[in-house]
Amino acid sequence: MSDNDRILVGIDGSEYSTAALRLAGRLASALNAPLHVVTCLGFSDFYLPAHLPPGEIDSTAELEAVAKRLMAQAIDRAYGAERPEHLTTAVKSGSPAKVLVDESRNAQLLVVGRRGHGGLLGQLLGSVSAACTAHAHCPVLVVSQDAEEDHGRNR
């Protein structure tokens, strides 16, 4: 398996992330492809600071540790003990849209949630999802929060 075979999924810890993770895991399993999960440390993020301990964070390493913990929690919510076989993770620094578009150069598919934290009610796509669909170097699958409910009805 090469990097170009991988399914890339971008998460931010929102409910849309969990649905995107689950669907990406099913696709990776069906395609026998590695699954690479990415979360980003961007200064415009609202989700990460809400989960920081009181007081100041002294270093980027501490921010990265919090991001890794939140990613592990999201993966646990999505898969429990039934994790996809070839799952890898990464915490990247930078704008989530830019990071995911760059990472998409080496993927067969990019999976993102329809809207994450900080979205305005009524938006069809969040800014990251919109940027990915416009600029990614591979096909992009945008997953809504209710994708699992729809999937379950069609079984």
Residue 8: pLDDT above 50? yes
CATH number of the domain encompassing residue 49: 3.40.50.620
pLDDT, tens digit (0-9, with 9 covering 90-100), for 55-87: 555 567 888 888 899 999 999 999 998 899 899
Q: Percentage of residues in the chain with pLDDT exceeding 70?
A: 74
117 vs 46: CA distance, rounded Å = 7
146 vs 18 pLDDT, higher one: 18
Question: Which domain range does residue 33 map to?
Answer: 3-153
8 vs 48 pLDDT, higher one: 8
50 vs 52: CA distance, rounded Å = 6
What is the reported pLDDT for 62?
81
CA-wise closest residue to 8 among 19, 20, 18, 16: 20
What lies within 8 Å, CB to CB, of 109 at 6+ separation is 7, 8, 24, 27, 138, 139, 140, 141
Residue 48: pLDDT above 60? no
Residue 15: pLDDT above 90? no
Beta bridge partners of 109: 7
Count up the domains in the chain and report the number: 1
pLDDT, tens digit (0-9, with 9 covering 90-100), for 51-61: 555 555 556 78
What is the reported pLDDT for 149?
52
